Amino acid sequence: MVHRSQVIGNYVPTHIVEKAQTESLEKLKATALRKESAYYGTTPKHYYSRFNTIKSLTEASDNFHTRIHSSRGI
């Protein structure tokens, strides 16, 4: 399959268009990760570790409070 460029009027093979679209998506993901990491005061390299730690602590806290409430009969 071949795509036609609207700007120049040239034909571009599909695999080149798909590769460009994939690279564009990857760049957007990397930018979003950098922004999210900066917001939480960490680096992209350590963001997922921090995210998983916070998620784990939140779940542990929720489980603890659920057990406390159930043991008290509340």
Neighbours of 21 (CB within 10 A): 10
Q: Are 3 and 35 members of one domain?
A: yes
Q: Are 50 and 65 members of one domain?
A: yes
10-21 confidence digits (pLDDT tens): 777 888 888 999
pTM value is 0.52
Q: Are 12 and 26 members of one domain?
A: yes
Q: Which domain holds residue 7?
A: 1-39
Q: Are 30 and 59 members of one domain?
A: no
Which one, of 44, 25, 26, 24, lies nearest residue 34 by Cα? 44
Q: How high is the pLDDT of residue 17?
A: 83
DSSP 7-30: TT--EEEHHHHHHHHHHHHHHHHH
Q: Are 35 and 1 members of one domain?
A: yes
Q: Are 61 and 35 members of one domain?
A: no
How many structural domains are present in the chain? 2
9-54 confidence digits (pLDDT tens): 677 788 888 899 999 999 999 999 999 999 888 898 899 898 899 8
Single-letter amino acid code for the residue at 20: A
54-73 confidence digits (pLDDT tens): 899 999 999 898 888 887 76
